[in-house]
Amino acid sequence: MINLALNTYLHILLIIVIFCCLVAELMLVNNQISFRTMRKLSKIDGLYGLAAIIVITTGLLNWMKLGKGYDYYSNNSLFIIKFSLFVVVGLLSLYPTILLAKLKKRHKKDQLAVIQLSHSNTIRKIIMLDLGIMAFIPLLTELMANGIDL
Q: Which is nearer to ligand HEM, 46 or 138 (CB)?
A: 138
Question: Are the beta carbons of 44 and 24 closer than 8 angstroms?
Answer: yes
Amino acid (one-letter) located at 106: R
Q: Is 48 in the site for ligand HEM (CB under 6 A)?
A: no
Amino acid code (one letter) for 131: L
- Member of 38, 55, 78, 123 binding ligand HEM (CB under 6 A): 55
- Smallest separation (angstroms) from ligand HEM to the CB of 98: 21
Helices assigned H by DSSP within the chain = 2-28, 35-61, 70-74, 77-106, 120-145
* 132 interacts with ligand HEM by CB under 6 A: no
**Residue 38 near residue 104 (C-beta atoms within 8 A):** yes
Using CA atoms, how far apart are residues 128 and 77, in angstroms rounded to an integer?
25
Site string for ligand HEM, 59-98 (x = CB under 6 A): xx-xx---xx----x---------x--x------------
Q: How far is the CB of 16 from ligand HEM (least distance, A)?
A: 9
Q: Is 111 exposed, middle or buried (0-12, 13-18, 19+ CB in 10 A)?
A: exposed
Least separation in angstroms between CB 132 and ligand HEM? 11
Q: Interface with ligand HEM by CB under 6 A: which residues? A: 8, 11-12, 15, 55-56, 59-60, 62-63, 67-68, 73, 83, 86, 134, 137-138, 141-142, 145
